[in-house]
Amino acid sequence: FQMRRVRTFLGGHVFSPATRYRLQFEWNSNGGNTLDAFIEQDLWNNEEWSLSGRAGSMKTFFGKESTGTAKSLMFVERSLAARTLSGDDRRAVGALFNLKGMDNHLFVHAGVFNAGQANGSTFGSGHLTANADNELNYTVGGRYEFGEDMSDEWFEQGDLAASEEMQASVHANIWIGNERGATGDVDVF
pLDDT in tens, 94-113: 999 999 999 989 999 999 99
Q: Which has more pLDDT, 188 or 53? A: 53
79 pLDDT higher than 80: no
- Amino acid identity of residue 89, one-letter, is D
Rounded CA-CA distance 92/56 in Å is: 8
pLDDT at position 176: 84
Residues 34-38: what's their mean pLDDT?
90
Asked if 183 and 148 count as a contact pair (C-beta separation under 8 A), the reply is no
pLDDT at position 183: 59
Residues 71-97: what's their mean pLDDT?
76
Residue 162: C-alpha distances to residues 67, 71, 149, 158, 159 (Å): 21, 15, 15, 8, 5
Asked if 9 and 38 count as a contact pair (C-beta separation under 8 A), the reply is no
pLDDT at position 185: 62
56 pLDDT higher than 80: yes
Residues 35-52: what's their mean pLDDT?
94
Rounded CA-CA distance 138/94 in Å is: 10
pLDDT in tens, 128-164: 666 666 788 899 999 998 877 777 776 667 655 566 6
State the chain's mean pLDDT as an integer: 80
Q: Return the minimum-mean-pLDDT range out of 12-26, 73-87, 136-150.
A: 73-87
Q: Which has more pLDDT, 77 or 98? A: 98
Q: What is the DSSP string of 109-166?
A: EEEEESB---TT--SS-STTPBPSSS--EEEEEEEEESSS---STT-----TTT-SS-
